[in-house]
Structure 1
Amino acid sequence: MRNTHYWPLQLMLGWLNFAFTAPIIYLYLGLPMIMRQYGWSGTEIGLFQLAGLPAVLKFLLATPVDRYRIGQHGYHNWSMILTLLYSSILVLLAFFDIQHTSWGILFTLALTASLIGTWADIPVNALAIEYLPESERIRAGAIRSAATSLGAIMGGGVMLLMQTRLGWAWPFATLAALLGSGVLLLALTRTYTPIQHAESSTPHAGLKEWLSYFSTPDFRRWALMILLYFPFIGAAWVYVKPLMLDQGFEADRIATVVGIGGGFVGALASLLGSRLTRRSGPVVALPVFAFLSLASVGSLLLVSTFQMSFPAFAAAALFTALAMGAASGLIFGLMMYYTRPGLTAVDYGIQSSLFAFARTLAPMASGIMIGNFGYGGMLLGLVICLSVVFVLAITYRKHIKEAIHT
């Protein structure tokens, strides 16, 4: 069957990932700025970020998805129910104006939204594994990465402008409507036939299955790559804007070029990276994209050390966005190959938890390095870490080649 047959399904899944990402970005990158405008303390804003903790617990949330199949189409029904719940929580948030709501209530609602959104992501991506052939998985990962980049623009930019001009409720209503459209699209996926028939329940999905995931050498090596491949380039991206602000560049220029421009570059890089991966295979893409990450952070270190002009910083920042988009698209695509029959949701949840843990830890460690050694010391540390990742990617190529056929 021609690959064009899968484009509608790919775009549906991409839209769902976009709709899932935008609210999370708005809650954890947009709301802190609004909270500050209304006089909330730094401590209150910092503690509010704890509402994002469910992302690290995906392996726990995935277990009931595989253990308790709802009806004949388990992943499909789980996806629809959780997406509806996610949308409902956002509608509820629209009624609790920040001016008249306590920190506790707002935190509880945000935590619930994060929990349901994280949970909904599991069966949706399990659906992608179930409905797409292996030849489409790299493209699916790239589309997911691109959708995440565009969701960041939507949640971290467009929704903030909407809140400023139209008020508190409008962003939440809009984001809820996006999720509502996702429910309608999920209904259309039933016109497709699953590639993998994994609808039988797995009543014993639990601790034994979590631990047994790491029992094979290929899965252990892959777990190491999840922990190391993306977080260092992701940490560099987190600190690009603060770095440029501390160089004295205007916030508006940084927001436009890095915030919006970087999001589009990251999305484009994900799609172009998918094309390269499908043509040359992961055996080529894995070390090439690792080298791009190393080179981009090296360019940030160079322009920072010599305190170059805004165009030089902007070029290095966009190069970093390009490397990050390519790396994340590859990781998301390859994750689909490392699942076991009947445990698709659990295995995806384990990988996502590892990814979220490392992605959270690396920026924290980078911030400590900035405090002790400055931006130059932090970037040098990331260059060293990415050099190790590059060597591991070269070493790991043959195992990717043996385990994956594209």
Structure 2
Amino acid sequence: MRPALRHGLAQALFGWLNLALTAPGVYLWLGLPLVLRQHGWSGTAIGLFQLASLPTVFKFLLAMPLDRRGAGRGGYRRWTVALLLAYAAVLLALGWRDLLNDGAMLFALAAAAALAGTWADVPVNALAIRVLPAASRAWAGGIRSMALCLGAIAGGGLMLLAQARWGWQAPFLIMAAALALGAALTLLLRETTNALHAGRADDAATRDASIDTAPAPALDGSRRQPAARGSSAASTSRQAIAYLRLPASRRWLPLLALLFPFIGTGWFYLKPLLLDHGLAPARVAWLAGVAGGAVGAVGSVAGARALKRLGPARAVPLHAGAGAAVLAALALAVGLDAAPAVLVACAMAVAAAMGATAALVFGLMMSHARPGLQALDYGIQASVFALTRIVAPLAAGVLLDVAGAGVMLALLALGASGVLALAWRQGRAPRG
């Protein structure tokens, strides 16, 4: 099989895997809030429900055994298949009976789903970093972000409609089947010898990736360390500390922590916000779930192209500025009690900015992973990403109850403006 065709099929497979991994989380954290709001849950309670996703913060710990036991041929693939099936089993447990009136059990099983999905995400993306050439990583980030947006369509729209029509079990059965199919397809994936070694060719590709995707020229210091596969937890801890001490990491991780949470939180509260403004639940599911997910997918393509063409030094401030602008527009529309058509237009703008920002973040995450330590480095970044993604909606939920949606959105826009200032400073400092 020709390399281009093989890489194209691999991109398609990783797109499906990310879609299958994303849809359940979107359904639990973005779809169910609409149902919970219908059942009288407060904004604070919905925000507290996000704490069930706390296992995502510890992704770097879950990544530790993968590099030690996934270094050989097929190692990441075996981890991927096993954890995808485990995730499917948890979803089947969630769908065993209706849990809308059993908050404790819903929280516990949602936490188990977050753990299974978080752990499965590590070998999937480590496998992608290993298999895909460095030159295609920007597009891989775009495809992953598209999967997030298609997952928003599936989990935040279609699964809500399936739940309304066929009952509590239907969404979980469908999503478990998608994971099982992904596990079966992963068995067909080959890890080539060239992709397994972090030798001279991989080092050259990595240097190219760091030049193409680092936030500024000074990030040449992010050139990956030689592959060092630790045989113990202590060795893995030393590798994690070494990663955090890299000049590139110290510059990139604060941006990673702050780029997505503000626009992501605005997206999270869109469905309850539209519901509170009088839109019917089915219409909210179609508009924010299906249409918003489609717009976000288009935004993902735009974000990947912007990263490829402009480079991070210009693309990062551009995306941060777009997020601040659309959040400010939505805050203004809510504060002025604008017509539903205006709110929907602002919601679509938030969806586009969310998709573009996610593509940017995921593309840059792939380029900040050292050969031989892909799972660990990706896990560290994903943990940083997850921590702020959880905290931001929780704080915003309290603001929603105390001060109202307009104030909450205005403060999100203000926070996004601060990220714009940080990104602008990071981009200018090396040139200065």
TM score, norm. by length of structure 2:
0.82
Instruction: Specify the SS of the correspondent of 1:18.
Output: helix
**1:202 has 2:230 as partner:** yes
> For structure 2, which runs of at least 5 residues remain unmatched after alignment?
199-226
Query: Closer, same or farther in 2 for the Cα pair 1:103/1:317, shift >3 Å?
Result: closer
Query: Closer, same or farther in 2 for the Cα pair 1:194/1:307, shift >3 Å?
Result: farther
Aligned to 1:279: 309
Query: Closer, same or farther in 2 for the Cα pair 1:104/1:240, shift >3 Å?
Result: closer
**What amino acid does structure 2 have at the position aligned with 1:54?**
P
Q: Is the 8 A contact 2:15 2:143 kept in 1?
A: yes
How far apart are residue 190 of structure 1 and its match? 0.6
Q: Is the 8 A contact 2:77 2:123 kept in 1?
A: yes
Aligned to 1:136: 136
How far apart are residue 134 of structure 1 and its match? 1.9
Query: Closer, same or farther in 2 for the Cα pair 1:289/1:4, shift >3 Å?
Result: farther
**What amino acid does structure 2 have at the position aligned with 1:121?**
D
2:313 & 2:46 partners in 1: Cα distance? 43
**What amino acid does structure 2 have at the position aligned with 1:397?**
G
1:400 & 1:10 partners in 2: Cα distance? 34
1:260 & 1:237 partners in 2: Cα distance? 13
Query: Closer, same or farther in 2 for the Cα pair 1:206/1:191, shift >3 Å?
Result: closer
Query: Closer, same or farther in 2 for the Cα pair 1:193/1:323, shift >3 Å?
Result: farther
1:250 & 1:161 partners in 2: Cα distance? 13
Q: Is the 8 A contact 1:293 1:386 kept in 2?
A: yes
Deviations 1:73-114 (Å, cap 9, x if unpaired)?
Answer: 2211111111122223333444x2227997666555443332
Instruction: Specify the SS of the correspondent of 2:367.
Output: coil
**What amino acid does structure 2 have at the position aligned with 1:133?**
P
**1:356 has 2:357 as partner:** no
Which moves more between the two structures, 60-69 or 219-228? 60-69
Q: Is the 8 A contact 1:132 1:194 kept in 2?
A: no
Instruction: Specify the SS of the correspondent of 1:340.
Output: coil
How far apart are residue 137 of structure 1 and its match? 0.9
Q: Is the 8 A contact 2:299 2:356 kept in 1?
A: yes
Instruction: Specify the SS of the correspondent of 1:72.
Output: coil
1:369 & 1:360 partners in 2: Cα distance? 15
Q: Is the 8 A contact 1:44 1:103 kept in 2?
A: no
Aligned length: 400
Which moves more between the two structures, 389-398 or 218-227? 389-398
TM score, norm. by length of structure 1:
0.87
**1:163 has 2:159 as partner:** no
> Aligned runs of 1:143-154 on 2, under 5 Å?
143-154=143-154
How far apart are residue 361 of structure 1 and its match? 1.1
Aligned to 1:374: 404
Deviations 1:54-73 (Å, cap 9, x if unpaired)?
Answer: 11110110111112237532
Which moves more between the two structures, 392-401 or 238-247? 392-401
Which moves more between the two structures, 283-292 or 194-203? 194-203
**1:118 has 2:118 as partner:** yes
1:375 & 1:40 partners in 2: Cα distance? 16
How far apart are residue 179 of structure 1 and its match? 0.9
Q: Is the 8 A contact 1:71 1:77 kept in 2?
A: no
**1:244 has 2:274 as partner:** yes
Query: Closer, same or farther in 2 for the Cα pair 1:258/1:165, shift >3 Å?
Result: closer
Q: Is the 8 A contact 1:57 1:353 kept in 2?
A: yes
**1:9 has 2:39 as partner:** no
How far apart are residue 367 of structure 1 and its match? 2.5
> For structure 1, which runs of at least 5 residues remain unmatched after alignment?
402-406
**What amino acid does structure 2 have at the position aligned with 1:89?**
V
1:12 & 1:376 partners in 2: Cα distance? 41
1:285 & 1:252 partners in 2: Cα distance? 36
1:321 & 1:237 partners in 2: Cα distance? 7
Q: CA RMSD in A?
A: 3.2
Query: Closer, same or farther in 2 for the Cα pair 1:187/1:294, shift >3 Å?
Result: same
Q: Is the 8 A contact 1:87 1:177 kept in 2?
A: yes
